[in-house]
Amino acid sequence: MSDAGEEIKVAADVTKGSMTIEEALQEVLKKALINDGLARGIRECVKCIDRRQAQLCVLVETCTEKEYLKLVEALCALHNINLIKVSDAKKLGEWSGLCKIDREGNARKVVGASVVVVRDFGEDSEAMNVLLEHFSTR
């Protein structure tokens, strides 16, 4: 009847230095996608921004329609919503779940996204803190 104290080792999260903005953005978009907190595409995003439901807006710099850029930038400035720009639409589409994942875990049939809005971050994470710190120092 002696208690044999078993030790349970918990693997601690080892951070390799500080997280880059791109890595933090990818993590935040993944968590928001899991929690159904993403709006993808110009129509959904403009509706979210205009209703002030948006927490963060991600816009592609190389968008073919310059009116999209003007509209999203103006609405974000009007409603004081944080805006971050990325370089590639295919990357943003992959990060926001607009792709198929094959058996090996590689993204296939990636659809580009011109704008993505985070309505709900989900759970608090280091990546979210990195992004919020980035916006507060800007």
pLDDT (tens, 9 = 90+) of the chain, 138 residues, equals 444 444 443 333 334 447 788 888 888 888 888 888 888 888 988 999 888 888 889 888 888 888 888 888 899 889 988 888 888 888 888 778 777 777 887 777 877 778 999 888 877 888 888 888 888 887
C-alpha 82/C-alpha 2 separation (Å) is: 58
Pairing mode of beta strands 115-118, 56-60: antiparallel
Cα–Cα distances in angstroms (integers) from residue 102 to residues 4, 117, 132, in the given order: 45, 26, 33
Q: What's the CA gap between 62 and 96, in Å, rounded? A: 17
At a CB cut-off of 8 Å and minimum separation 6, what does 6 contact? none
Q: How far apart are CA 30 and CA 28, in angstroms?
A: 5
